[in-house]
Structures are given as C-alpha cells and as structure tokens.
Copies of this chain bind each other. A is one copy, B any other.
C-alpha cells in the first residue's frame, strides 16, 4: 500500500485551487531535485497513513556553531533514500525582510546547488528556512552563505534570530527605528546567537507601535513595543474631512476607545491623554488626522512563549517607557542583567518568563536592579500572602528599626 511509485494521487488533489499550492512548489523543485521528489513521495505516504515519517531530532551543525541547523532523518529511508537526511538550515534574514532581487537570486543559487531547492519564506521566528540538505553539505553551504554576506540564525538554547516590523521603512506610526534595533541586537548578540549557553531559547521581537505587527507580545522573551509619552497629535482639519466623507466619528472612533477618553463635538476632537491607553485604535482609523505623540520610545515587555509545559505566557511590562536610540545601552545593560541571573539560577529548559514566575517578579527586579512600578502590574496583589522580609526583635534599638533576618 505504501507509495514509492512516484504517483501522488492524494497530493495531486492539492495542486489546484485559488490559493498558491505548496504541492506545485514541491513538484517544481522535484523537477530538478531528487530530494524534493522523495519528499513528495514521503509526504504522500504521510497523507495515506496519516502520520509523519521523520525520526526524532538529531544533532548536526556547522563547525563552531551550536545552532542554526535542525537535523532530520527519514524513518523510511529505504523507500525514500534521498530524504534519508533532510536537515534544515536557518538563515538569518535581513531586518524587516527587505531584499534586493540580487541577494535573493544569490540565495536561490546556493540552495539549488546544495539543497532541495525548497525553502520557507520565512520560518515562524523569521529566518529564511533552507528546507532539506544532507550533513556533508552543511559546511559548503555555510561557506557560500557567508561569502554572500549571510549567516545562520538561532536554534537551541540561545538567542534566537531577532525580528522586527517594517517600522520607519514604510510605516507612519513607528515610534522608534525597529530595523536598526533589530540589526543592532542581532550583531551585538552574535556569540549568544550561535553558541547556545542559556537555560533555554531567548527571543527578541521589535514592534514599532502598539499594533505589534510582529506579534511580539505573544512570541518573544523580550518584546520591544514602540509607544509615546505625550499626547496624540491631532489635526482637527483632517478629522473634519473624515467626518465629511461620512465617517461616524462618535461611533467608530470614540465609541471604540477603550479609555472612553475622546470627545467629539462635531467639529473638534479632544483627547484626555492622561487616560489614553496608547491602544492605537483612533490613530488606525484616522491615519491622516491623528498621530502618535512626539516623545517617542518603547515599552519593554518580557516573558512571552508558547505553552510547553506550564501554559502559554504573554509578555508583561518591565519598563513602561525607554528612549530607543543607538547604541541602546540602557536596553543592553538591562538584557545583560537579565541573562546573568537567568543563566545563574534558571533551570534547564526554563524560559525567562517561567523563571520570573518561579522566583517572583519582585525578587527578579531586585536581582536586575529595577525599581518596582505599578506599570508592571494589571493590579496589585489580591491575596494576603505577603512575604514581609523584615521584622523587629525584642531589644531592637528603640524597637524602631527593622532587622533584616
């Protein structure tokens, strides 16, 4: 029943339809690549049997690096010998995924020569994923990649490839230079990115404003989200234009403001900026009329991750507002302190968000020398189990001075 005939009747059914077909892509690659051909065959087998056919893991890599390659071996290599090895390489993409056709073509050439000719543009962390090669080819590919100016991204317990939104390159709302920060962090942490030495992975994602177009709040150990401190810039003429063109400002704009801090009297828009939550809604709806304020920077949030195994986390506020200017020293100092304590006291496979919950955010703040702030919490504690740290003992000087026990 298993299929090694080269026929793929099930996958063929996904060859058509309005959405571009991955089957078509594999077939296209398969025209030249026996590896892609066997991938198609093995995938057809999976479709028949409703189960994957890859063995568990396998550690391979390029010399001197601990990450960047995911080893993969078929569990049916007899049937599909060309995917007996089918490793992926994670190639660090440029900030905000901008390319010249020249660079892209160069990558394609390398991959045509040494790999399956299939790739993911891009992986979920943001890398260019070179999908499928054999162990022997890893070094040659790496050599040609660096030659072309590219390097590998992260995998394993290291800094993972940082990513960022399109930001100032093409967005009017960027509150800091996401591309620059992303590049700067990537370069600054090259060693940490290539040589896993942490308890677990550590991801950076840079979003230029609270719309968070890189999903940083959900998927980054450090989420750097642009925001502003002063008031929203209002161009009342432009507001009026939107109104004249038929926008129901009261309902669509003010009515959806989570802070209920907007007043529209039919000709003037007023915002109580002390209540405004910097949610972006009004700005999103009227980009010509409203803009983020002028005192711009970012909110530094920490700890988000997928659920394995203590449940998913969202990032939470660590520094509500930080100026974001090169060389980003304040940020890097903070990161260093965080990494230090996490590397020292974190358990194996414990993400920093889980670590903080285990040791307590208050204790973590002490370790990284950050003052507690009400911005860090949705609300103060609602249970009475306070670990008061000091108490008086009989005979203490005037019983007026507290003792650290």
Residues of A within 8 A of B (CB): 307, 311-312, 382-385
B311, B382, B384, B385: the one within 8 Å of A383 (CB): B311
Total copies of this chain within the assembly: 2
User: A384 CA to B383 CA in the complex, in Å?
Assistant: 27
User: A307 CA to B311 CA in the complex, in Å?
Assistant: 24
What DSSP secondary structure best describes chain A's contact surface? loop
Interfacial chain B residues near A385, Cβ < 8 Å: 307, 311
User: A349 CA to B311 CA in the complex, in Å?
Assistant: 29
A311 to chain B, nearest CB (A): 5
Interfacial chain B residues near A307, Cβ < 8 Å: 383-385
User: A382 CA to B311 CA in the complex, in Å?
Assistant: 9
A249 to chain B, nearest CB (A): 17
Q: Could you write out 7 A-B pairs with CB less than 8 Å apart?
A: A307-B383, A307-B384, A307-B385, A311-B383, A311-B385, A312-B382, A312-B383
Interfacial chain B residues near A311, Cβ < 8 Å: 383, 385
Interfacial chain B residues near A312, Cβ < 8 Å: 382-383
User: A382 CA to B306 CA in the complex, in Å?
Assistant: 12
A321 to chain B, nearest CB (A): 29
User: A312 CA to B383 CA in the complex, in Å?
Assistant: 7
User: A311 CA to B312 CA in the complex, in Å?
Assistant: 22
User: A127 CA to B382 CA in the complex, in Å?
Assistant: 28
Interfacial chain B residues near A383, Cβ < 8 Å: 307, 311-312
A232 to chain B, nearest CB (A): 23
User: A307 CA to B384 CA in the complex, in Å?
Assistant: 8
User: A383 CA to B382 CA in the complex, in Å?
Assistant: 23
Residue of B nearest to A311 (CB): B383
A337 to chain B, nearest CB (A): 31
Residue of B nearest to A382 (CB): B312
User: A312 CA to B382 CA in the complex, in Å?
Assistant: 9
User: A383 CA to B308 CA in the complex, in Å?
Assistant: 10
User: A242 CA to B389 CA in the complex, in Å?
Assistant: 56
6 closest Cβ contacts across the A-B interface?
A311-B383, A307-B383, A307-B384, A312-B383, A312-B382, A307-B385
Interfacial chain B residues near A384, Cβ < 8 Å: 307
